[in-house]
Copies of this chain bind each other. A is one copy, B any other.
Amino acid sequence: MRLIALLVTGARALAKPPAVIGQKLHDVATPALLLDADAFERNCETLKSAVALTGVRARPHMKAHKSGALAKRQLELLDVHAAGVCAQTVSELEAAVDAGVGDVLLTNEVVGADKIERVAAAAKKSSGRVGVLIDDFWAQATDLNLALDDDVIVDAYVEVDVGQRRCGVSPSEAAPLALQISRLKNLRFAGCHCYHGLLQHVPSKAERREAVADVADAVREVRNALSAAGLAEFVITGGGTGTLAADRDSGVFDEVQPGSFCVMDLQYGSIEHEIVFERALEVLTTVLSRPAPNRCVVDAGSKAVDLVAGPPDVEGNRPYRSGGDEHGILDLEAGDDLAVGAKLRLYPSHCDPCVNLHDHWILHRGGVVVDVLAVDARGSGC
């Protein structure tokens, strides 16, 4: 009664990519993750303009697109205004290092022998710098320090809880932890990570600014304490797409970490913005069935468009209802002649988990596929 192993190596064949270069979008197999390459590039140019001349650098977060190639491309477009990129998982870190990104900050704690070994290997492989977050000296910093080869240094950023109440030490604990870390041989205390994710989607521009002012007060306390402790060289990094303008203007951040800006989604599209980014991400779907005049069924269910943050917008303003894991149900108005086989674009509610559901990005310009990229850092969080 023993199951036979199908897999002993780390590789498997994926289904063939749903598109080839030169193909028209209408012929792409669905559900497909579309990236408007022109809009993606304009969004990077907009970010560059937003931070240029301010002294603040951008560290785009690849959790939004999960592609080493796109991370590398962002850095090229941002030029000297980029500090590097952020990764959220070890897989994202590995994809960025493999793509040749020179400075990758894993904005998460690393725990467990397997992951610590992978971070150590990525740091050794990197031609630049690799960083991680620490909020516990013994369980995180010392284990990582021990796992590193003598000639490899990893940047350690202390994670400070500036209001989100997830991971992170309190502002008053930051400097003592930084001093502890600075005594380790293979970790370099690089700064503090101060991120408040819950502020990113506050709809009102004014209310977001007010909330960021509270974050800035906490960050200022951290900066002062680090300086008082004699720690001269450090970077304060944090923030996201929603709070980008306020973080930039706060005077306390050296780096900002927008992720969604490059693709955008329905959640971000619906807040009041100070810096305007374009929709670059869509999911292409096909009508599978047209069983009634007021209803059709498409092939994009909760496995193609993450529904935790709500249903996607549908081309032609047709309301989307969940039809389960593989189906979406569209309620149609009288006279809508949408037929079986028709293709529609969906605009997803939340980019990160939506992208995570797909194996390939289909890049297009003017209705034609110009590239197919692996979503090489997708996965459950390993």
Which residues on B sit within 8 Å (CB–CB) of A379? 14-15, 303, 358-359
Question: Is the pair A12, B376 in contact by a Cβ cutoff of 8 Å?
Answer: yes
Q: For residue A326, which residues in chain B have a CB less than 8 angstroms away from its CB?
A: 63, 88-89, 108, 381
Identify the interface centre among A13, A140, A306, A326: most chain B CB within 10 Å of its CB: A326
Choose one: B7, B108, B291, B373; the contact of A6 (CB below 8 Å).
B373
**Within 8 Å of chain B (Cβ to Cβ): is A202?**
no
Bound together, the chains give a CA A69 to CA B98 distance in angstroms of 32
Question: A381 contacts which chain B residues (CB < 8 A)?
Answer: 31, 299-301, 303-304, 325-326
Using Cβ atoms and an 8 Å threshold, which residues of chain B touch A247? Answer: none
B residues within 8 A CB of A370?
2-3
Residue-wise interface mask of A (300-320) relative to B, using a CB-CB cutoff of 8 A (1 in contact, 0 not): 111110111000000000000
Known: A18-B114, A136-B289. A325 touches B301 (CB 8 A): no
A360–B325 Cα gap in the complex (Å)?
19
Tell me, in angstroms, the Cα distance from A12 to B329 when the chains sit together. Answer: 33
Contact between A380 and B33 (Cβ–Cβ < 8 Å)? yes
Known: A29-B114, A111-B299, A363-B3. A352 touches B380 (CB 8 A): no
- A275 CB within 8 Å of chain B: no
CB neighbours of A353 from chain B (8 A): 302-303, 325
Q: Looking at the assembled complex, report how far the CB atom of A262 sits from the nearest CB atom of chain B, in whole angstroms.
A: 12
Find the B residue at minimum CB distance from A115. B29
- In the bound assembly, the distance between CA atoms of A326 and B115 in angstroms comes to 14
Is residue A17 within 8 Å, beta carbon to beta carbon, of the partner chain? yes
Q: Which of A78-86, A160-168, A184-192, A250-258 contacts B (4 or more CB under 8 A)?
A: A160-168
For the complex, is A153 an interface residue (Cβ under 8 Å from B)?
no
Task: Enumerate chain A interface residues (CB-CB to B < 8 A).
Answer: 1-8, 10-18, 21, 27, 29-33, 37, 41, 63, 67-70, 73, 88-91, 94, 99, 108-109, 111-115, 135-136, 139-140, 159, 161, 165-169, 197, 286-292, 295, 297, 299-304, 306-308, 322-327, 329, 339-341, 352-353, 356-360, 363, 370-374, 376, 379-382
